[in-house]
Structure 1
Amino acid sequence: MKELGEAVGSTIDFRDSRPNSRVTVRWGVNEELDRLKRDYNGMEDLLSQVVSDLSNELPEWARNIVTSCIFWPQLGFLTMVPLYPDTEEPMYDGQGLDCDNWQIMFSAERKAYYKNRRMRELDAHLGDIKDLEVEILHNLAVDVMVHEDALLAAADICGELDALVAMTLAAGKYGWTAPKLTMSNVLSIRAGRHPLQELVLPLYIPNDCYLSGGEDYETPGLGHESRSSGHSPMSTSTCASMTVLTGPNHSGKSVYLKQVALITYLAHVGSYVPAEEAIVGLTDKILTRLSTRETVSRNESSFAVDLKQVAFCLKSASRRSLVLVDEFGKGTTSDDGAGLMAALVNHFVSLRTKKPRVLAATHFHEIFEGRYVSKSPYLTLAHMDIRLDLTYTTLDAEDFSRLRDAEDAARRFLNVSLRNLAIGVVGDVGHARNTLRGVLYEDTGSNCHL
């Protein structure tokens, strides 16, 4: 490997390759290539000599007209001929040279640019540089490919080492902890956080997650793992396999679903996780219905795409899977959407020993109010509780959304204190309070304590 690295380093000029936007060969590798490069680097002297040789071939009357040549990277070497001011025709275009074909390439700024025999010879000369470099680099590639297996093995080791170092640094820098992987089909997370979201917010509220999927007779459930680790589950339903989460927009429901998936994934790749404590049962798949990627190239509506995603989750989920569903059913009428969501919940909780671990977020409160979802020990209802106090002047943990256990997921509590309204509101504070009360009652249809 050392000799191979030295061979590559002694052949390729990495410093010169960047400004030229191509791989270049070092000086001293090939004598013929070095000679051609010297000619190319002395371009001004070379062009002067070419003009002198070309002038000797021209008729005597044209020698004072053709006095210069230039090099264009896209077109190569060209001979410049001035134009007549009145007719804008070239003063010379190869008359008297029967063995030479003067081909006009373009005209600009009262000059015509021609390709002739001399210019084509120079183009071939420059092409020899590139041909020689391609040949040298090809021979180097052949020598490198002999060691292909060793190079790929080394790249895999370096990639794995780089990933381990990155995960180690992240764990130490952001306060991650070592998860516990278990054969039990459980997911028990205490004070879990989203590894990216917490980096861009001034304050991020951690949340718990407790789920237990279908078990066989040989593996214990969540209760056993919780007792052995000292966990305090969020409710008495420690064997729930599905949690349905409600809450207002921008309260963190989607972020919560994603953070649970990320913690599960990080635990399986050998990383520490952003949580105070995590017990993660072996998971075979993480199945999601989180976002709809719409595109004009597919003749499908966003609702049809949602249905296909959910159908794939239903077909592919096993008792070892983690399923995340966010706002399923919003792409159709409210009644149809609520019915689809209720059917999905009832399906997952009816699987018993084959039930996967499921997290779902929804705005369809009516499926719980109308008892369209049957009560089950495998189902937990929760909501994002927002506590707002307008007397606060600084951000605090209580100002942010936090997951709370709820017996009735349709109830939302918005505690608003308007006693000391010092945020620049002009007008009758009492009128503003009454208006806000009416809007909240009309919009949410829930118990709002003002």
Structure 2
Amino acid sequence: MREYSKSLSCKAHPPAYFIHTPPPNSLSYYICRMAKSKSEETPLMKQHNAIKAKYPDAVLLFRVGDFYETFNEDAVIAAQVLGIVLTKRANGSATYVDLAGFPHHSLDTYLHKLVKAGYRVAICDQLEDPKTVKGIVKRGVTEMVTPGVAVNDKLLDNANNNFLAAVHLDEKNNGVAFLDISTGEFFVAQGSVEYIDKLLQSFKPAEVVYAKQKQKLFREYFGSKFYTYTLEEWIFTNTYGNEILCKHFETHSLKGFGVEGLTEAIIAAGAAMHYLKDTEHPHLQHIATMQRIDQDDFLWMDRFTIRNLELLNSAVEGGNSLLSVLDNTTTPMGARLLKRWIVFPLRQLSQINERLDTVEFFIKQTDLSHALQAHLKQVGDLERLVSKIPLKKINPREVMQLAKALQQVEAVQGLLNDTHNDYLQRINEQLNPCPTILQRILAEVSDNPPVLANKGGVMREGVSEELDALRKIAHSGKEYLLQIQQKESEATGIPSLKIAFNNVFGYYLEVTNTHKNKVPDTWIRKQTLANAERYITPELKEYEEKIVGAEDKIQALEIQLFDALLLALQDYIQPIQQNAQMLGRLDCLLCFAYNAVQFKYRKPEINDGQVLDIKEGRHPVIERGLPMGEQYVANDLILNKDDQQIIILTGPNMSGKSALLRQTAIITLMAHMGSFVPATSAAIGLTDKIFTRVGASDNLSGGESTFMVEMNETASIINNLTERSLIILDEIGRGTSTYDGISIAWSIVEYLHDMTSHRPKTLFATHYHELNELENKHHRVKNYHITNKESGNKIIFLRKLAQGGSRHSFGIHVAKIAGMPPQLINRANEILKQLESQHIDAPLQAAVEQISTPLPKMQLSIFDTHTETFQNIREKLEATDINRLTPVEALLKLNEIKSLLQ
């Protein structure tokens, strides 16, 4: 307590579990006792304030003795987030300071709560041993923890990467970098704002950093859905980016990474590396390479498609996503890689077929598959384990787990040696069990080491002669003490003599009052009790000093030997990382094989053609969620550019239109991942982009209506499609009035059909049955519907795709199923019958039938004939507020206009 008594003049809080007066020898006690004048700031608080000034936007955890303390505004935050006691103590006689803290051994428990709550946390440790220092102990921030640079296991999810993203926004081009400090993965890319946005949605970074001057632009482009931090503008320059990256990788240029021409990407990558240095992460040897993400290498899906197809997350709370139903991986590396494979499907035919062939190989070689999975289950998170080595975060128990993982690598390599599969052989060639360091770990580290290196029992016997000798002294102490006890008992004739230990006197001899007259003069009395007295002897004191000294030396020597082992492990970081990546690939392919067998998926045929031919396709997510015993109704579907480019899909509500649309896109996606698909067969032409426009939602914060969001997403599709694109459109135009909606939907179909350069495969689900007329006017447009059966007052959804358009939506029936009151349902049926009896649909249908394909850049007008009748129609239309018309009122108005024409 020397430091506290000399330097503090404000009361500290009691520990979180104390609410009473500070006890003697506590921090609060000494602060209270040493309170000084009004204006004087104590040396400890000066030290705290100086460090806090360097990290003003972080919660500073200030190590004082056995506690991490927080002061002032940090204390208020800590008390609120962590649920610990906030106290207010005198700082002199006129001012007060808020305090809150917790025991240092509880750091992991409390740290993740602060970071999860969105706070940056600076951990300030004691850099000197307080026992050896007079006055103030030297302190400094040893680590800054933010959401994007977390390495603590409690802050990380094994199945997900924890990426830090750095974004560089430029007028012409943009750059982005994704860096996971917990695994060492580092990706860079550059391109349009849409491309950067897609990558951000795919990688889902925990934190995004960008230039402070670009705040308005960043929010305009990407909104406020990310945890962000801004950096100074000078960091985002090409010169600085090149310099910091070359220095880190110890290269003269970045040519070897294939990114030399990507100026914006390099700037973003440099900013990411700067941020790691800025947050006190100097040991980054595990970030050994940088990979370029090339847009042309992967099947493109924008963020709307990733959301609409529910690839990573379900739109329903607690619901399944494609990731959740496909993920049967056995390693954390495989789980993280599978997520990336889903959002970045392949576009190269040879790479896709390599994966498909390997999955097929695993299905046929069941014994090999089961053996590989058994070994993979014992690997653990090898990728994150090895990344802890340079960060100096790996503990003895984790080092032993790393050795066990390398043993599994050795076993996997043995299994793959005799396989006749080119892809597996390439994986096998890249595996390296690192036998030298593996044998050293097994030879030096004990079988069941403690978590902390300073707890003893880390190193095996035989590693160090000095350590073995010290252990013999420390561990044989019990026998030696018994020998002393027996010897002194015999020499003095005291039968009840015993040896014990306490923190005040150390080892002592205890003699009952009955025999105290037999105590020799050479014994030194230390304590008198009611029924006994306690003594020490020179021999006992000498042995005590030897034991205590041995324990301290054992601890220091074990730490020294363990540090030497970690230093040797530094040379094996890259080969172990390579092992982790190869095992992750194996895990994903074995997962695909397991899914294929378990859920009856079949190998798709991927070809250079442009035909999509699926036989008995199923939706993998919906199928897995069906009640026990219920079978999914499978459907065939064909799309091609010659005679069935666009399918207009109609059918009742809840009949399965959206499921059919989504399953077509998901089957195409799964095939490009290299996975077998839920169908009896699938011939899939190579696809470069999948677009979806599904559902309706407002963007209230952006001031956009449902219809505006719908049009923005549709415009993005129209402006970016190619002839190899697959387009899924569901209910386009329903966000506005009936006439506007039909007009837009109609024109979109015509546009997609009549494009001279592209003929994208398109599925268009709609409730506008008038669009069925398009089949008669455009030869590559075909009508299909989802079948149903009427039985009395009930509708049975057969969920089977059939040719021809549907004329009914059965919306009132769906409302009944949803639980609408019977009175409301009955009234709706009455109104429907009345409207149908008046043939309200007839004028609209007649107008639709008269539509002909317009010439390019030509607008036809019904007012070209200047007659009195048409003038009356003009006046009526000009007097009508279209925005306030309901669909029914619009139809009545059209009927009125028709009567004028007649």
What is the TM-score with the length of structure 2 in the denominator? 0.30
2:249 is equivalent to residue 249 of structure 1: no
Note if contact 2:648-2:771 (Cα within 8 Å) is conserved in structure 1. Answer: no
Note if contact 2:644-2:780 (Cα within 8 Å) is conserved in structure 1. Answer: yes
2:787 is equivalent to residue 385 of structure 1: yes
- 1:111 counterpart residue number: none
2:803 to 405, 408, 411: 405
2:711 is equivalent to residue 317 of structure 1: no
Query: What aligned pairs does 1:300-379 form with structure 2 within 5 A after superposition?
Result: 300-368=704-772, 375-379=777-781
**Quick one: distance in 1 between partners of 2:707 and 2:808?**
28
* Residue deviations 1:245-283 (CA, integer Å, cap 9, x gap): 122222111111111111111222222211122110011
- 2:607 counterpart residue number: 182
**Distance change in 2, residues 1:399/1:332 (3 Å):** closer
| Alignment gaps of 5+ in structure 2 | 1-433, 475-500, 507-551, 814-822, 840-902
**Quick one: distance in 2 between partners of 1:3 and 1:391?**
77
Note if contact 1:14-1:24 (Cα within 8 Å) is conserved in structure 2. Answer: no
**Quick one: distance in 2 between partners of 1:211 and 1:443?**
40
Structure possessing the higher relative contact order (Cα contacts under 8 Å, 6 or more residues apart): 1
**Quick one: distance in 2 between partners of 1:367 and 1:206?**
25
**Quick one: distance in 1 between partners of 2:835 and 2:786?**
14
**Distance change in 2, residues 1:157/1:373 (3 Å):** same
2:458 to 18, 22, 26: 26
2:636 is equivalent to residue 208 of structure 1: yes
* Residue deviations 1:142-186 (CA, integer Å, cap 9, x gap): 544433432233222212211211111211222222222221111
**Quick one: distance in 2 between partners of 1:5 and 1:293?**
56
Shift, 1:140, TM fit:
5.5
- 1:196 counterpart residue number: 621
Query: What aligned pairs does 1:89-128 form with structure 2 within 5 A after superposition?
Result: none
**Quick one: distance in 2 between partners of 1:358 and 1:440?**
35
**Quick one: distance in 2 between partners of 1:241 and 1:340?**
19
- Give 3-state SS (helix, strand or coil) of 1:340's partner: helix
2:583 to 144, 158, 174: 158
- 2:594 counterpart residue number: 169
- 1:85 counterpart residue number: none
Shift, 1:6, TM fit:
5.3
**Quick one: distance in 2 between partners of 1:3 and 1:49?**
46
**Distance change in 2, residues 1:250/1:138 (3 Å):** farther
Q: Which amino acid aligns with 2:633?
A: I
**Quick one: distance in 2 between partners of 1:273 and 1:324?**
19
Note if contact 2:724-2:760 (Cα within 8 Å) is conserved in structure 1. Answer: yes
Note if contact 1:385-1:412 (Cα within 8 Å) is conserved in structure 2. Answer: no
**Distance change in 2, residues 1:281/1:315 (3 Å):** same
- Give 3-state SS (helix, strand or coil) of 1:272's partner: coil
**Quick one: distance in 2 between partners of 1:443 and 1:316?**
45
Shift, 1:389, TM fit:
3.9
**Quick one: distance in 2 between partners of 1:323 and 1:295?**
23
Q: Which amino acid aligns with 1:315?
A: N
**Quick one: distance in 2 between partners of 1:384 and 1:441?**
22
**Distance change in 2, residues 1:15/1:257 (3 Å):** farther
**Distance change in 2, residues 1:373/1:191 (3 Å):** closer
- Give 3-state SS (helix, strand or coil) of 2:458's partner: coil
**Quick one: distance in 2 between partners of 1:441 and 1:17?**
76
Q: Which amino acid aligns with 1:404?
A: A
* Residue deviations 1:316-346 (CA, integer Å, cap 9, x gap): 2100111111222333333333322222111
**Quick one: distance in 1 between partners of 2:703 and 2:561?**
51
Note if contact 1:342-1:373 (Cα within 8 Å) is conserved in structure 2. Answer: no
- 2:685 counterpart residue number: 281
Q: Which amino acid aligns with 2:590?
A: V
**Quick one: distance in 2 between partners of 1:209 and 1:140?**
61
Aligned CA RMSD, in angstroms, stands at 4.9
Note if contact 1:246-1:362 (Cα within 8 Å) is conserved in structure 2. Answer: yes
- 2:12 counterpart residue number: none
2:673 to 255, 269, 292: 269
Shift, 1:385, TM fit:
1.5
Q: Which amino acid aligns with 1:189?
A: I
**Quick one: distance in 2 between partners of 1:14 and 1:344?**
68
Shift, 1:141, TM fit:
5.5
- 1:119 counterpart residue number: none
- Give 3-state SS (helix, strand or coil) of 2:789's partner: coil
* Residue deviations 1:269-321 (CA, integer Å, cap 9, x gap): 22221112211001111111224676666454443332222122112210011
Q: Percent identity?
A: 27
Query: What aligned pairs does 1:14-163 form with structure 2 within 5 A after superposition?
Result: 26=458, 143-163=568-588
**Quick one: distance in 1 between partners of 2:757 and 2:599?**
37
**Quick one: distance in 2 between partners of 1:140 and 1:302?**
61
**Quick one: distance in 1 between partners of 2:459 and 2:680?**
59
* Residue deviations 1:198-240 (CA, integer Å, cap 9, x gap): 1222121101111013xxxxxxx6xxxxxxxxxxxxxxxxx21
**Distance change in 2, residues 1:26/1:442 (3 Å):** farther
* Residue deviations 1:4-58 (CA, integer Å, cap 9, x gap): 445567788997778x9xx9993559999x99xx9xxxxxxxxx955789xxxxx
Note if contact 1:345-1:373 (Cα within 8 Å) is conserved in structure 2. Answer: no
What is the TM-score with the length of structure 1 in the denominator? 0.56
* Residue deviations 1:107-127 (CA, integer Å, cap 9, x gap): xxxxxxxxxxxxxxxxxxx9x
**Distance change in 2, residues 1:243/1:11 (3 Å):** farther
Note if contact 1:10-1:26 (Cα within 8 Å) is conserved in structure 2. Answer: no
Q: Which amino acid aligns with 2:777?
A: K
**Distance change in 2, residues 1:241/1:24 (3 Å):** farther
**Quick one: distance in 1 between partners of 2:562 and 2:705?**
51
**Quick one: distance in 1 between partners of 2:696 and 2:809?**
28
**Quick one: distance in 2 between partners of 1:9 and 1:304?**
64
Q: Which amino acid aligns with 2:803?
A: D
Shift, 1:353, TM fit:
5.0
**Quick one: distance in 2 between partners of 1:11 and 1:204?**
57
Q: Which amino acid aligns with 2:650?
A: T
* Aligned residues between the structures: 319
Note if contact 2:616-2:634 (Cα within 8 Å) is conserved in structure 1. Answer: yes
**Distance change in 2, residues 1:294/1:437 (3 Å):** closer
**Distance change in 2, residues 1:189/1:298 (3 Å):** same
- Give 3-state SS (helix, strand or coil) of 2:783's partner: strand
Note if contact 1:389-1:399 (Cα within 8 Å) is conserved in structure 2. Answer: no
**Quick one: distance in 1 between partners of 2:504 and 2:834?**
86
Shift, 1:390, TM fit:
6.8
Note if contact 1:387-1:401 (Cα within 8 Å) is conserved in structure 2. Answer: no
